[in-house]
Amino acid sequence: MKNVKEAAITKLEERGVTINDIATIVYNIQGSYQNITVDDCKEMVLSIISKRETLYTILTGIAIDEIAEKGLFDPEINKIITDDNSLYGLDEILALSIVNMNGSIALTNFGYLDKTKPGIIGQLDKEGKSSTKCHTFLDDIICAIAASAASRIAHQVIKK
């Protein structure tokens, strides 16, 4: 899976998302509960991303966004995806493949991040709405990774 991991991280960067962007969100939601650094958060984000389920979801979600951006899906479904209307819902469902693996704190964090859209999540959402970019799946995937990393940190620290 090492090549797949490198491919996923490169893809994220191509689409405008760095590990640091995600770690910053994790730090902002979890740092007030625990004595952690942004570097701790980075490490945990990388650990979440290393899992097979996360890698497949990143690659699949970005692949759908890119094809929709190019307009290669059938017109009807292509427009539904690029519009990213709030009733579409499959972007949140796909992100659950990551969230589900990481416990119930991941679930509540996911909903919170999806609604408040801090940092890079808000940027992706705005870019997806105003330009020729489609980030319908990517923004939810970033929510899921950040929510899962925060959940894992909470579990680790409490276990100590």
Q: Does 34 bind its own copies (CB under 8 A)?
A: no
Q: In whole angstroms, give the CA distance from residue 120 to residue 57.
A: 18
The structure tokens listed for 137 are 């799946």
Give the Å distances, CA to CA, from 87 to 20, 53, 70, 81, 90: 30, 25, 22, 11, 9
> What is the three-class DSSP state of 118?
coil
Among 5, 31, 50, 88, contact with its own copies (rule: CB under 8 A): 88
Q: Which stretch binds its own copies (CB under 8 A): 15-23, 41-49, 56-64, 118-126?
A: 56-64
> What is the three-class DSSP state of 84?
coil
Give the contacts of 144 (CB within 8 A, at least 6 positions apart).
Answer: 57, 95, 96, 98, 99, 106, 110
Among 16, 103, 118, 119, contact with its own copies (rule: CB under 8 A): 103
Identity of the residue, 24 or 57, whose beta carbon is nearer to its own copies in the bound complex: 57
Identity of the residue, 108 or 123, whose beta carbon is nearer to its own copies in the bound complex: 108
Among 2, 32, 35, 72, contact with its own copies (rule: CB under 8 A): 72
133's torsion region: left (phi>0), alpha (psi -120 to 50) or beta?
A: beta
Identity of the residue, 38 or 73, whose beta carbon is nearer to its own copies in the bound complex: 73
> What is the three-class DSSP state of 5?
helix
CB of 64 to its own copies, least distance (A): 7
Q: Which residues of the chain form contacts with its own copies (CB under 8 A)? A: 1, 4, 7, 11, 52-53, 56-57, 59-60, 63-64, 66-67, 72-74, 76-78, 80-81, 85-90, 92-94, 96-97, 100-105, 107-116, 154-155, 158-159
